[in-house]
């Protein structure tokens, strides 16, 4: 298990990105943000613009709405901290694309490639993801499938991390991950 990765989860506007940014500001070397969002509408374009405008100038940004593993391999090196913002939108891009049909085979291949890559990275990674399974059960089959997939993804990424942080109302609850499975 890689000892440096951290998964930061929480609800929308719980402080996940802010937590990752504060941790990254303390990092003594290079910081790269891998952004997974796609600007589908004006509101999302405004959110993306806000993130870009408030991100520290020395943070590099790589946009990777689908090819997260390739982006991680591209920026990976000693002395680099990577922030992935976020797994929630990355999964959405695969299972609920703006245009066209979901690519289930592509998603499964990309997911497995990411999970296999994590223990081999030289760079520590701060993953940001939403915890969406605490609310009302979604009515639609596709949305239930998405929620289930995100829950499984969060669990599998967490197993490959040293720390898990739950953000609640802007407050971080962090704990070391137990090594209860072979990864």
Task: Tell me the per-residue pLDDT of 137-170, one tens digit each, with 9 for 90 and over.
Answer: 777 888 889 999 999 999 999 999 999 999 999 9
The per-residue pLDDT for 27 is: 96
Q: 1 lies in a domain?
A: no
Question: Quick count: other Cβ atoms within 10 Å of Cβ 170?
Answer: 12
The per-residue pLDDT for 37 is: 92
Q: 95 lies in a domain?
A: yes
The per-residue pLDDT for 180 is: 54
Query: What domain range is 48 assigned to?
Result: 6-176
Q: 183 lies in a domain?
A: no
Q: How many angstroms separate the Cα of 27 from the Cα of each of 77, 100, 138, 178?
A: 14, 40, 39, 25
Q: Check which CATH number belongs to the domain holding 64 and give it.
A: 3.40.50.300
Instruction: Find out whether 130 and 12 touch, Cβ atoms under 8 Å.
Output: yes
Q: 181 lies in a domain?
A: no
Q: Where are the beta strands (DSSP E) in 28-135?
A: 30-35, 60-63, 80-85, 125-130
**99 annotated active-site:** no
Instruction: Name the catalytic one among 51, 99, 108, 145.
Output: 51
Q: 125 lies in a domain?
A: yes
The per-residue pLDDT for 9 is: 97
Task: Tell me the per-residue pLDDT of 89-106, one tens digit each, with 9 for 90 and over.
Answer: 999 999 999 888 999 999
DSSP state of 15: S
The per-residue pLDDT for 183 is: 43
Name residues of the chain where pLDDT drops below 50: 1-3, 181-183
Domain count, the chain: 1
pTM for this prediction: 0.91
Phi then psi for residue 97, to 5 deg, are -65, 155
């Amino acid at each position: 298990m890689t000892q440096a990765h951290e998964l930061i989860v929480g609800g929308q506007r719980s402080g996940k990105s802010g937590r990752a940014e504060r941790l990254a500001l303390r990092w003594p070397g290079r910081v790269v943000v891998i952004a997974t969002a796609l600007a589908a509408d004006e509101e999302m374009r405004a959110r993306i613009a806000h993130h870009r405008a408030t991100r520290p100038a020395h943070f590099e940004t790589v946009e990777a709405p689908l090819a997260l593993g390739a982006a991680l391999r591209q920026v990976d090196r000693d002395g680099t901290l990577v922030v992935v913002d976020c797994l929630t939108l990355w999964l959405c891009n695969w299972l609920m694309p703006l245009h066209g049909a979901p690519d289930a085979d592509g998603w499964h291949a990309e997911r497995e490639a990411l999970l296999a890559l994590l223990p081999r990275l030289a760079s520590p990674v701060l993953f940001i993801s939403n915890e969406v399974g605490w609310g009302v059960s979604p009515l639609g089959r596709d949305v239930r499938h998405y929620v289930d997939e995100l829950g499984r993804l969060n669990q599998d990424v967490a197993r490959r991390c040293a720390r898990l942080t739950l953000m609640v109302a802007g407050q971080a609850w962090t704990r070391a991950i137990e090594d209860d499975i072979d990864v």
